[in-house]
Structure 1
Amino acid sequence: MSHSQYVNADFFTGRPTIEIAQALLGSTLLYRTPEITGGGLIVEAEAYLGTNDTAAHAFKGRRSAFSEPLYRGPGTLYIYRLRANYLLDIVTQPAETPEGILIRAIEPSINPEQLIKNRGKSGVLVTNGPGKLMQALGIQDQGMNLMAINDSQLAVDLGQRKVPRQILALPRVGVNPNAASGQLPLRFVVAGNPYLSDIKKRDWQSDHGWK
């Protein structure tokens, strides 16, 4: 596995956040500890578009110790806590342009038995949501918050990837639907993948939506 295929700042350069979110689908999110590496294929990624996005933590230029990572350079990790869950956001644009992508779901592919053990659940419940996938990886603190992804124990591997047959753009989850940006289709998913956070079982595809 070549580290040269890990996402670094160059991956983000010169393209919009919505394009980056779609490019992440099918790549492998890794968490590497001295004991074990675990991870999975990214199947759901949600874009947040900064100061004009009513659902973004940086809406209207809001800036606090909480949201400070969003104002750093591309590839900065923004790990925050929401209702007892830790969530993973990756900053996508140059410093002072506070846009990012929330990784919402992964399909276990690297040491899945460790992810199951960490979550205490099996099947799609292991990683079919942003808080669940962090539990499954074993990340339950903000120790990597503000770190550049390629200086951290997290990585996105573009070398270990599958190609989605179809990418859907859907409204985001957990945002105010009545606000100006509430219904924007900024959640990108691998159509038919059973690990999506809100998919019905009848819509699962046997090949999980990969080519």
Structure 2
Amino acid sequence: MSDNIRMEPLDEEFFQKPTLELAHALLGCLLIKETEEGTTSGFIVETEAYMGPHDRAAHSFGNRRTKRTEIMFGKAGLVYTYVMHTHCLVNVVSAGIDEPEAVLIRAIEPYTGLDLMQHRRPVDQLKNLTNGPGKLTKAMGITMKDYGRAFFESPLYIASGFKPEEIAQGPRIGIAGSGEARDYPWRFWVKGNKFVSR
């Protein structure tokens, strides 16, 4: 799958899809972060869609507009980072302007910069390096400073990768207090990939 990977940002147009479609399309894409220490990258293998004002699990439920969620009201393809339980999580803003939806990147399969990732996040088993939304950001050096950047420009961007053979979907994880929204099948993952969070 890595023979002709081009580490160049996808066009802004790529992100202009309905949110559920984007959550699906991001699987297999390459997430890349350039820092002074070096460049790391990994293939996105798990995502979750958050459908904005009508989704009780979304930060923007009821059109909630705060300093934290402001970027969600921007254009598709922007970077939405936030801190949860001391971990920084990274999302792709989706839908149109003033339609505050987003796709959480839940897990990646490491591709380049493995030594740097393991230096930032030492683990005994490689499969535990980036198999969760807080794990992958720490390994890749994605922080709150990335908030508001664009995924179609360096230093944090998404490039084309591989086409998954099979994609699975099911309920999202860790949103117990969100009523009926906890059952929506808006988590997508590359079936059989060992870096999927669970």
Stretch moving more, 52-61 or 115-124 = 115-124
Aligned to 1:131: 134
Q: Deviations over 1:155-200 (max 9, x none)?
A: 1111xx12211100110001126612110110000011111111xx
Asked whether the 8 Å contact 2:57–2:178 carries over to 1, the reply is no
Q: Which runs of 5+ in 2 are unaligned?
A: none
Q: Deviations over 1:123-146 (max 9, x none)?
A: 11100000000010022x311101
Aligned to 1:150: 152
Asked whether the 8 Å contact 2:150–2:157 carries over to 1, the reply is no
**3-state SS in 2 of match to 1:47:** strand
Aligned to 2:162: 162
Aligned to 1:205: none
- In 2, Cα distance between the equivalents of 1:178 and 1:11? 30
Higher relative contact order (CA 8 A, sep 6+): 2
Asked whether the 8 Å contact 2:9–2:154 carries over to 1, the reply is no
Q: Deviations over 1:65-103 (max 9, x none)?
A: 011111111111101000000000010112100011000
Alignment of 1:1-211 (within 5 A): 5-13=8-16, 15-121=17-123, 122-139=125-142, 141-158=143-160, 161-176=161-176, 179-198=179-198
What code does the residue aligned with 1:176 have? Answer: A
Deviation at 1:108, TM superposition (A): 0.5
Asked whether the 8 Å contact 2:32–2:156 carries over to 1, the reply is yes
Which runs of 4 or more aligned residues in structure 1 lie more than 4 Å from their structure 2 counterparts after TM superposition? none
Q: 1:2 to 1:44 in 2, by over 3 A?
A: closer
Please give the TM-score of this superposition, normalised by the length of structure 2: 0.92
Identical columns (%): 36
Asked whether the 8 Å contact 1:25–1:164 carries over to 2, the reply is yes
- In 1, Cα distance between the equivalents of 2:136 and 2:109? 9
**3-state SS in 1 of match to 2:183:** coil
What code does the residue aligned with 2:172 have? Answer: R
What code does the residue aligned with 1:68 have? Answer: E
Q: Which runs of 5+ in 1 are unaligned?
A: 199-211
What code does the residue aligned with 1:112 have? Answer: L
**3-state SS in 1 of match to 2:162:** coil
What code does the residue aligned with 1:51 have? Answer: P
**3-state SS in 2 of match to 1:136:** helix
CA RMSD for the aligned pairs?
A: 1.6
Please give the TM-score of this superposition, normalised by the length of structure 1: 0.86
What code does the residue aligned with 1:135 have? Answer: K
Deviation at 1:27, TM superposition (A): 1.0
Residues paired across the two proteins, number: 193
- In 1, Cα distance between the equivalents of 2:71 and 2:44? 22
